Structure 1
Amino acid sequence: MTVGQQTADETATPARGWGLNTWDSPWLNFKFLLGVAIVGLILLFGLLGPLFWDTDLAYTGAGPLNKPPVWQEGGLPEHPLGTESNGRDMLAQLILATPSSLKVGFLAAIIGMGIGMVLGSVAGYVGGWWDHVIRTLSDSAVTIPALVVLVVIASYVQMTDTTAMALILAAFAWPGPTRLVRSQILTLRERSYVRMAHLSGAPALEIMFVEMLPNMLPWLAASLTGGISVAILGATGLEVLGLGPTRVPSLGLIINQATTNAALVRGLVWWWLPPIIILMVIFVGFFLMTIGLDEIANPRIRQFSSSRRERSAAGEAPPVEHMDGGSAAGRDAALEVDDLHVHYFTPRGEVIAANGVDFSVRKGEILGLVGESGCGKTTVAMAILQVVQAPGRIVQGEVRIEDQDLVSLSGKELREVRWRDLALVPQGAMNSLNPVTPIREQMGDAILAHENIGRVELEQRILGLLNDVGLPERVINMYPHELSGGMKQRVCIAMAIALNPQVIIADEPTSALDVVVQRVVAQTLLEVKDRLGVSMVMIGHDMGLQAQLVDRIAVMYAGNLVEVVPVESAFSEPLHPYTQLLIESIPSIKERKPLNVTEGLTHDLRNPPPGCIFQFRCQHVEQICRERRPDLVERDDDHLVACWLYEPERHALIELEEA
């Protein structure tokens, strides 16, 4: 790269995705908006139709009999959709019938949802006998053949209007919402913010309506739209059978009259086909709204393919000379990360979580990846494992193990690589182990997914792994809830080394553990590394722990790598201003002094500034820092830093070129 040439970050922006990920907000979900538009147009047709068409033509004798639509021979302009055997205008009938059918659906679904919300809330939040009784009733109601019962009821009940029909349908619409609300309440009441509201003395109704209900709105809305479709379908079925109200026009009643008068046999297509088309359009509209709301409630329904490289439409980014994170990377690297870009495509913009990250991990080395919360450490780890979740996506870069690029592998090929060549020690072992499965089965599943061995050999293998991490043999038959936090973490370490991988990603393996257990887990990791010769990427915040475990430290800030340094030099001679502030923020037990806190906040990752990313918080910022981004260059032996303070020659040459 020549002096004065801009970096790839400045000259080429990785490809942005403009597919379905653009529609991720509640108001910008394409399917939801399309469904709303379809239903809205049908509703406007029924509500505003009387303003533009004479609905008196919908009554018997209002026009000539059996006239075809205007585009067929014999059609009349005053009856554009034709008339039926009683002289009623089809367009006028559809205008009056459409709101009637929608009214039944809305009334039945809203009443059923209201009943379901009340019963589900009581069952989920109060619990006890209330939960037992309501759950039994709702589960039993689901097994009842609703259509058969509706036919029997409608045969004996004289329904004079759509409200009566809606009430009958609502009697069968409440079990689904009840079960949905109960399940959501049971989940939400265990959340920390709900517990805090309870401890603060908030009344039950406030907790339910302020803390819980807003989190359930997408699910409730999806259930409501689905309920409306089901209610319209049920009402139409009764009307087609002649069991609905006859005084009020409805789409089902039109189909019933067409069937009674043999319209299909007589070739009067314009009599029975238009109401069916309107019903189909209504169902499609509500279906799109339902799946759109499902996607809003659970964005993971639409998964991006994070195992494929995303490039711009113009082609590959121009070739750029990248530092490899270490002078020996090309000779003895177990893992190489080259120009890694990971973006999160959110409704509010494209968040650049990893921006051209380059480093390597040597064989038998532990590399520490440090930085403040939100700097991109875990995102890089997930990208290495190729498990970046939506709305995140790897848009550029390579991750290599033994010259094999993981980004280009298929899902099947990745399953072969994971755990055999690349394993993970997750953050928070208490959430990483299945609570209802014994340790024997969980460890056995990981081994059997890659090797075909017998039960006796498998058990001996598991016992050996548990012994390797300092756990007694009895743990093999225990469940996760019977283990302490440190024991769970060591089980995760045992699972990670089960297939002797080349590289282990340890994502804050000692978080949420007390200092004594942290020491045990750290010692276990060191023993594993020394015995197996495995390489590790150790992610964390604890600089003291990093000092005891790692060989080199890679410092990240705002998605960028700013310094890669041997651990001794990191504490004795840090170069980057951000690394210096990290070291100075560590409390000292030797002398009493105020902590040096890093002032300010990270810039908006959706809109990184030109120049150095640390310019807003740096005490040494100069004009060039605001204009050009420094490269990660080697200043001393095996010590790389991205800072203009350590490039005086290049700084002078750039000023000379600009002059």
Structure 2
Amino acid sequence: MSGLFAVLRRSPRASAGLGLLLVLLLLALLAPLLSRYSPTSQEFGTWLKPGAPGHLLGTTALGQDIWTQLVYGARLTLLIGFTAGLIATAIATAMGLAAAYFGGRTDEAINVLLNVFLVLPGLPLLIIASAFLRGGGVWSIILVISLTGWAWGARVLRSQALALRNRDFVQAAIASGEGAGRIIFSEMLPNLAGLIAASFFGTALYAVLSEASLAFLGLGDVGQVTWGTMLYWAQAKGSLLQGAWWWIAVPGLCIALLGTAFALINFGIDEVTNPKVVHAGRATRVLRKKSAAPVKAAPEGQALLAIRNLDAGYVTPNGNVRAVRDVSLDVQPGEFLGLAGESGCGKSTLAFAATRLLDAPGVVFGGEARLAGQDLLALSPEELRRVRWKDYSLVFQASMNALNPVLKVREQVYDAMQAHGVRDPAQLEARAKELFALVGIREDYLNAYPHQLSGGMKQRVVIAIALALEPRLIVMDEPTTALDVVVQRQILQEIDAVRRRLGIAVVFITHDLSLLVEMSDRIAIMYAGEVVEEAPAHQLYAEPKHPYTRRLMSAFPPLDGPRERREGIPGRPPSLSVTLPGCPFFERCPSRMPGTCDVQKPARAELEPGRSVACFLHSPATVQSPAAQEVAVYDKRSVV
């Protein structure tokens, strides 16, 4: 029950849809209490208007009470809808999953059956099937609708299940010897739950509309009272000719309301199971207080990118996760800044939050990110589009997969330039060739499709696109992770050479500290969402100050000298969904001081110009962060 309330709280559409459906269900369940008449009783006057004494919605041509027929008709209508929906969805799920999982002849046979049902016209098929089962009552109608309404859902589920079938976790389950039943029901089915629920509501609406269509044509059991048979008798008795429009309007409105409820619930399922559907194409949500005092920015003409007291994270049903906690960081013009730390420490979240590319359910709780004095978090979507790729650009992790497989490389290189007003074909072509020369690719590959390029070449293409408009800043999120070490080195050398030639600043994110020591001007170390140490690369390598940095430095072996035994860092990082009262590294730190490190948060102390560390070993100062207090306000709001 608590899970249901959580869904309602997170999705206003689902709340409205379920509320409307509940009203209709109550009409059906409480029918004997809402009317004292029988729905088939013909003891009243005919064609009474709504509001007549004892008849809220008037009477029919046969002297039946329309209100009574409406509430009792809701029973059979909802029974047909829900039962046929359940049966058809069960058939669709079984067929779709079986076709996707077993493949081969099973998939071919099910596909043939699917195509047969999808090709046949729906209403004629219903009419023919109902003619054979005529006289079987409500259950024959349910059976007919169930057997004709499963194919579309099965096709959709099969396509999604095929994608799941090739996912690594399913392949691992197969390799470990798990049975087909367990893989289908434990591994695949839970990942399709949202789609199956949406399929059910869609099929239930199809069942209600199908029953109404059959009844209206006189092919159902018109002796039963449903919303469909009400429409049949209203049409048969010429209610519109008699001016009794309400006889048709009331059941028609109820069917429309039921369809609206199902549609709203489906929208709500999309919102809850896939927030990206709702927030697709939108900039990162910024939830900082509008009335908050401006954060002190870097002095004019110094930092190109100035991040101040940035708090960002993710909104989940179980509370907010603060993946970036009160981070302040500067990037100077032309500087190569390395951002390092183990996986899950907040590196990518920091970069995406600062550049307004943090996808839902990610949000920025507070702070500022100023590019050349302009606060990126305060820009409108249109202003952001004008700034991106021109003033700053990004190279994502495994971004080689971002290339469109059906477009030639030339078109994709042109795209960013055209979006920023470069239209002359000769200028576009010249710039594309220049970019390929910069990143070390022959210009004839402009005519190739992405699948004709190697992984390293595709990564170079993406970097060329990021350089197209010569932005002042490029953020690179582990751009060489999927490449072999030889290609990695080649690409990094080319990035560094281009950076020095064009004077572009680079923020390079990786967990490979040894790589950054060689390439970077300056390195910032992140742990549990916080920057714990920042220093010039050569100083950090020669004399790391923070215990976490020392542990990271000792985790990789040197290339020369005697062999040494290397050890990892014991323990694990703290949960980012809870408030950390002290140093986040306390539990894993070999130099921790109980009573100090676990109850107070160390402030970042500047040991010398350009070098700072957040550790009580180097400074007794503690942090007093107004940004953290601001996040606590949003934690209490259940922000969605």
Scaled by the length of structure 2, the TM-score of the pair is 0.88
What are the within-5 Å matches in structure 2 for residues 541-620 of structure 1? 541-589=511-559, 590-618=561-589, 619-620=591-592
Q: Which residue of 2 aligns with 1:402?
A: 372
User: Within 2, Cα distance between the matches of 1:630 and 1:308?
Assistant: 29
Note if 1:38 corresponds to 2:44: no
Q: 1:476 to 1:68 in 2, by over 3 A?
A: closer
Pick aligned residue for 1:113 from 84, 89, 92: 89
For each residue in 1:405-449, what CA deviation from the matched residue of structure 2 results, as whole angstroms up to 9, or x when unmatched?
A: 222222222122111121112211342222232222221222222
Contact 1:424 / 1:505 at 8 angstroms: preserved in 2? yes
- AA paired with 1:238? L
For each residue in 1:451-508, what CA deviation from the matched residue of structure 2 results, as whole angstroms up to 9, or x when unmatched?
A: 4244344333222222211222332222222322222222222221121111111111
Q: 1:603 to 1:157 in 2, by over 3 A?
A: closer
Range with bigger deviation, 553-562 or 534-543: 553-562
Note if 1:227 corresponds to 2:203: yes
- AA paired with 2:28? G
Pick aligned residue for 1:215 from 191, 194, 217: 191
Contact 2:306 / 2:369 at 8 angstroms: preserved in 1? yes
What are the within-5 Å matches in structure 2 for residues 236-635 of structure 1? 236-266=212-242, 268=244, 271-303=247-279, 306-307=283-284, 309-312=286-289, 316-317=291-292, 330-589=300-559, 590-618=561-589, 619-635=591-607
Q: State the SS of the aligned residue for 1:612.
A: coil
User: Within 1, Cα distance between the matches of 2:594 and 2:102?
Assistant: 62
Q: 1:145 to 1:59 in 2, by over 3 A?
A: same
- AA paired with 2:160? Q
For each residue in 1:549-579, what CA deviation from the matched residue of structure 2 results, as whole angstroms up to 9, or x when unmatched?
A: 0011111111111211111111222222222
Alpha-carbon shift at residue 136 of structure 1 (Å): 6.1
User: Within 2, Cα distance between the matches of 1:425 and 1:266?
Assistant: 70
User: Within 1, Cα distance between the matches of 2:80 and 2:339?
Assistant: 60
User: Within 1, Cα distance between the matches of 2:110 and 2:132?
Assistant: 28
Q: Which residue of 2 aligns with 1:6?
A: none
Range with bigger deviation, 114-123 or 501-510: 114-123
Q: State the SS of the aligned residue for 2:279.
A: coil
Contact 1:428 / 1:512 at 8 angstroms: preserved in 2? yes
Alpha-carbon shift at residue 269 of structure 1 (Å): 6.1
Percent of residue pairs bearing the same amino acid type: 37
Q: State the SS of the aligned residue for 2:304.
A: strand
Q: 1:231 to 1:612 in 2, by over 3 A?
A: same
Q: 1:171 to 1:102 in 2, by over 3 A?
A: same
Q: Which residue of 2 aligns with 1:176?
A: 152
User: Within 2, Cα distance between the matches of 1:270 and 1:477?
Assistant: 66
- AA paired with 1:43? L
The CA RMSD over aligned residues, in Å, is: 3.0
Contact 2:10 / 2:272 at 8 angstroms: preserved in 1? no
Scaled by the length of structure 1, the TM-score of the pair is 0.85
Q: State the SS of the aligned residue for 2:148.
A: coil
User: Within 2, Cα distance between the matches of 1:75 and 1:588?
Assistant: 95
Q: State the SS of the aligned residue for 2:586.
A: coil
Alpha-carbon shift at residue 296 of structure 1 (Å): 2.7
User: Within 1, Cα distance between the matches of 2:396 and 2:247?
Assistant: 64
Q: Which residue of 1 aligns with 2:75?
A: 99
User: Within 1, Cα distance between the matches of 2:42 and 2:418?
Assistant: 78
Pick aligned residue for 1:643 from 602, 615, 632: 615
How many residues were matched structurally?
A: 616
User: Within 2, Cα distance between the matches of 1:307 and 1:116?
Assistant: 37
For each residue in 1:503-539, what CA deviation from the matched residue of structure 2 results, as whole angstroms up to 9, or x when unmatched?
A: 1111112212222222112211111112212110010
For each residue in 1:61-120, what CA deviation from the matched residue of structure 2 results, as whole angstroms up to 9, or x when unmatched?
A: 455555566xx3x513xx665543434344443343212112222333333333333433
Q: 1:457 to 1:280 in 2, by over 3 A?
A: closer
Q: 1:568 to 1:414 in 2, by over 3 A?
A: same
Q: 1:46 to 1:505 in 2, by over 3 A?
A: same
Q: State the SS of the aligned residue for 2:344.
A: coil
Contact 2:285 / 2:362 at 8 angstroms: preserved in 1? no
- AA paired with 1:212? M
Q: 1:134 to 1:461 in 2, by over 3 A?
A: farther
- AA paired with 1:452? V
User: Within 2, Cα distance between the matches of 1:107 and 1:196?
Assistant: 37
Q: Which residue of 2 aligns with 1:86?
A: 62
Contact 1:23 / 1:347 at 8 angstroms: preserved in 2? no
Alpha-carbon shift at residue 346 of structure 1 (Å): 0.8
Q: Which residue of 2 aligns with 1:59?
A: 40
- AA paired with 2:453? L
Q: 1:59 to 1:448 in 2, by over 3 A?
A: closer
Q: Which residue of 1 aligns with 2:139?
A: 163
Alignment gaps of 5+ in structure 2 = 623-640
Contact 2:150 / 2:203 at 8 angstroms: preserved in 1? no
User: Within 2, Cα distance between the matches of 1:141 and 1:442?
Assistant: 41
Q: Which residue of 2 aligns with 1:16?
A: none
